[in-house]
Chains A and B, each alone.
Chain A
Amino acid sequence: MDVLQIVAIGLIATVLIVVVKSQRPEMALLLSIAAGVILFLLVLGKIGAIMDIIRDLADRAGISMVYLGTILKIVGIAYIAEFGAQICRDAGEGAVATKLEFAAKILIMVLAVPIVVAVLQALLKLTT
Chain B
Amino acid sequence: MGGNIDLIFKIAGVGILVAVLHTILKHAGKEEQGHLVALAGIAIVFVWVVQLLGNLFDQVKSVFKLF
Contacts and interface: CB of A to CB of B under 8 A. Distances in A.
B63 interface: yes
Nearest to A26: B42
The 9 lowest CB-CB distance pairs between A and B, nearest first, are: A76-B64, A23-B19, A27-B15, A16-B12, A20-B15, A48-B63, A38-B4, A37-B56, A37-B52
A115 B11 CA distance: 44
A30 B49 contact: yes
Determine the interface band of chain B, counting residues with CB < 8 A from chain A: 35 or more
A79 interface: yes
A33 B18 contact: no
Interface of B: 1, 4-5, 7-9, 11-12, 14-16, 18-19, 22-23, 38, 41-42, 45-46, 48-49, 52-53, 55-57, 59-66
A38 B8 contact: yes
A44 interface: yes
B45 to A, nearest CB: 5
Given A33-B49, A48-B62, 20 more contacts: A9-B8, A12-B8, A19-B16, A23-B15, A23-B16, A23-B23, A26-B42, A27-B14, A31-B11, A34-B49, A38-B4, A38-B7, A38-B8, A42-B1, A47-B63, A51-B64, A76-B63, A76-B66, A77-B66, A80-B57
Q: Is the interface of B mostly helix, strand, loop or mixed?
A: helix
Interface of A: 5, 9, 12-13, 16, 19-20, 23-24, 26-28, 30-31, 33-35, 37-38, 40-42, 44, 47-48, 51, 69, 72-73, 75-77, 79-80
